Amino acid sequence: MDRGSKAPIHRQIYTQIRNMILTGDLPGGTRLPSTRTLGMELGVSRITMVNAFQILTSEGFLRSRAGDGTYVGNEWLNEAVTAPEVRRPELSSRAGLSASTRGSDLQRQTSPSWNPEDPESFVASQVGIDLFPTSVWKRLIGRHSEEQSIEMLGYPEALGHRPLREAVADYLRDSRGIDAAVEQIVITSGAQQAINALMLMMTDPGDEVWMEEPGHIAASAAMLANGCRVLPVPIDECGADLAQMPNELPAGRLMFLTPSRQHPLGVQMSLARRMDWVAWANEQGSWLIEDDCDSELRYRGSRLPSLYELDRGQHVVHVGSFSKIMFPSIRVGYVVLPEDLVDSFATAISVTGRAPATLMQAATADFIREGHLNTHVRRSRKTYAQRQEALLRELRNQLGSFIRAEAVDAGMHVIGWLPSTVDDQRLAAQLADKGVYTYALGDYLLERSLPPALLIGFAATDAGHMPDAVNYMVRALRHDGYSC
């Protein structure tokens, strides 16, 4: 008996007797001592033993005969029970179990992880949560969390909470220039769910899909998980370059693009390139998936029209998320689709995991409607610009001989180019060991076609703390023998 355990004593006794029966240590037909005797032996009250016996009897493990005592039952008894296979096998005997090809691929994927309590995080996707107006958020959440309606508590609408779809349509029109009907908008639990569902809907296993190189790791993961072959398209200072793809290549089923801020390199795709891709999609009958990640966080230059607008929504699915502009744990995003594809997409979402909690959708709708989102975007943009400036200054002052970084016009990280002999993946792992978190550019490449670099995030670090944060990185690098 484990008196420190949280399980009640009678439950512990129940579990032990049941396991003895299941392993065959107590064979069917065995007569058990009385509850009084057993209770005394185990040092527990008779009532505790009776409770344990009652559960075992109701479940068929024991049966009591009037005036005769309690026996191990045999309702559940068949060959399986006494066969040795039922004994807890060694883990190695299960090795074949998880050996589907897809499963093994998943096991090999490393997801960059970090400990929020560690000292210095430059994680590129980490937002400045200190800026988020949580008192406003609490009020909006509170407004809906007591609503006892089917709309609020029942299954979420397949296409998303209607008020949020309306708010997103207005938001896209007013701040992004995208003219889409409410009927074209489906709410998702973020860009990742959207991309995975689009792969399910648009591709078959073995299809070729085109992808930015370097590109969004999680998007490639969804492509691979859905059985697609991923063909890399090189990036230059104008964005993904169609002209560099050999003419004899089969037309891809789709191309994945991040035109507002190329992920991870940070460049904005030029208008001419945008038109190239729209023409390609039209000529080939292919799809463009436009992930509009970080389009709100633009510090310099104006935002160019989205692919969706340039194509006017015929071959482009526009994907957006509130994870970066509100906060990551919100898990609310959206897609804009041609209206005739909306139902297929909603089905793909319902197969892979359904819409986010209605409460989160309702509060997000109010956050947009009442102007808090625009205020928060403006505030974040201003503060992030200062944080970027501080990061670049400190990198130049403290690490100028080792890391070369230039300002990005949009987003939450800079690219810190390393000396060509350095292995960026190894370096990132070494830094992470010391609680300094960055991503390696190498992780974003299907082929090793670019020099080594780190993605260094600035959004989550206060400008005043930046000198210390970078100094900590310098010391970590020196400790590992890098001369900087």
Report 267-326 residues binding a second copy (CB under 8 A): 270-272, 274-276, 278-279, 282-283, 285-287, 302-305, 309-312, 314-315, 323
Q: Is 25 helix (H, G, I), strand (E, B) or coil?
A: coil
Q: Give the nearer residue to a second copy in terms of CB position, either 16 or 37.
A: 16
Triad 449, 214, 190: Cα angle to 5°? 165
In the list 2, 68, 79, 447, the residue contacting a second copy (rule: CB under 8 A) is 79
In the complex, the smallest distance separating the C-beta of residue 452 from a second copy, rounded to whole angstroms, is: 25
Instruction: List the beta bridge partners of residue 321.
Output: 333
Half-sphere exposure of 53 (CA within 13 A, CB side): 20
Map the footprint of a second copy across residues 165-184, applying CB under 8 A: 170, 173-174, 177, 179
Site size toward a second copy, by CB under 8 A: 138
Angstrom distance (rounded) from CA 378 to CA 298: 10
DSSP alpha helix (H) spans, 59-154: 79-82, 101-108, 134-144, 150-153
In the complex, the smallest distance separating the C-beta of residue 400 from a second copy, rounded to whole angstroms, is: 30
Map the footprint of a second copy across residues 17-36, applying CB under 8 A: 18-19, 22
In the complex, the smallest distance separating the C-beta of residue 56 from a second copy, rounded to whole angstroms, is: 10
Q: Is the Cβ–Cβ distance between 357 and 156 less than 8 Å?
A: yes
Q: Which span sits near a second copy by CB under 8 A: 192-200, 291-299, 432-440, 473-481?
A: 192-200
In the list 3, 97, 246, 401, the residue contacting a second copy (rule: CB under 8 A) is 97
Residue 66 sits in the site that holds a second copy (CB under 8 A): no
Nearest residue to 428 via CA among 212, 221, 121: 121
In the complex, the smallest distance separating the C-beta of residue 128 from a second copy, rounded to whole angstroms, is: 10
Q: Give the nearer residue to a second copy in terms of CB position, either 190 or 232.
A: 190
Q: Give the nearer residue to a second copy in terms of CB position, either 109 or 244.
A: 109
Copy the structure tokens of residue 76.
């559940």
Triad 20, 24, 30: Cα angle to 5°? 80
In the complex, the smallest distance separating the C-beta of residue 90 from a second copy, rounded to whole angstroms, is: 10
Q: Is the Cβ–Cβ distance between 380 and 325 less than 8 Å?
A: yes
DSSP alpha helix (H) spans, 27-100: 35-42, 46-58, 79-82
Between the CA of residue 427 and those of 45, 300, 395, 438, what are the distances in Å? 61, 31, 16, 9
Copy the structure tokens of residue 274.
């945008």
Residue 162 sits in the site that holds a second copy (CB under 8 A): no
In the complex, the smallest distance separating the C-beta of residue 65 from a second copy, rounded to whole angstroms, is: 19
Residue 88 sits in the site that holds a second copy (CB under 8 A): yes
Q: Give the nearer residue to a second copy in terms of CB position, either 143 or 475.
A: 143
In the list 67, 96, 246, 371, the residue contacting a second copy (rule: CB under 8 A) is 96
In the complex, the smallest distance separating the C-beta of residue 328 from a second copy, rounded to whole angstroms, is: 4
Map the footprint of a second copy across residues 336-395, applying CB under 8 A: 338, 340-341, 343-344, 346-348, 350-360
DSSP alpha helix (H) spans, 59-97: 79-82
In the complex, the smallest distance separating the C-beta of residue 321 from a second copy, rounded to whole angstroms, is: 11
Between the CA of residue 275 and those of 189, 265, 322, 447, what are the distances in Å? 30, 21, 27, 27
Q: Is 189 helix (H, G, I), strand (E, B) or coil?
A: coil
Residue identified by tokens 């998702």 is: 188
Buried b vs exposed e over 170-198: b needs ≥16 C-beta within 10 Å? ebbeeebebebeeebbbbbbbbbbbbbbb
Residue 2 sits in the site that holds a second copy (CB under 8 A): no
For residue 48, which amino acid is it? T
31 backbone dihedrals φ, ψ, rounded to 5°: -90, 130
In the list 75, 237, 423, 468, the residue contacting a second copy (rule: CB under 8 A) is 75
Q: Which span sits near a second copy by CB under 8 A: 10-18, 39-47, 63-71, 451-459?
A: 10-18
In the complex, the smallest distance separating the C-beta of residue 130 from a second copy, rounded to whole angstroms, is: 7
Binding flags for a second copy, 208-247, as an x/- string (CB under 8 A): ----------x--xx--x-x--------------------
Q: Give the nearer residue to a second copy in terms of CB position, either 37 or 104.
A: 104
Q: Is the Cβ–Cβ distance between 385 and 409 less than 8 Å?
A: no
In the complex, the smallest distance separating the C-beta of residue 95 from a second copy, rounded to whole angstroms, is: 9
Q: Does residue 419 have a cis peptide bond before it, meaning omega lies within 30 degrees of 0? A: no
Angstrom distance (rounded) from CA 282 to CA 247: 16
In the list 25, 33, 41, 155, the residue contacting a second copy (rule: CB under 8 A) is 155
Map the footprint of a second copy across residues 105-124, applying CB under 8 A: 106-107, 109, 111, 113, 116
H or E stretch covering 286: none
Integer Rg of the chain from CA: 29
Residue 142 sits in the site that holds a second copy (CB under 8 A): yes
Q: Give the nearer residue to a second copy in terms of CB position, either 200 or 391.
A: 200
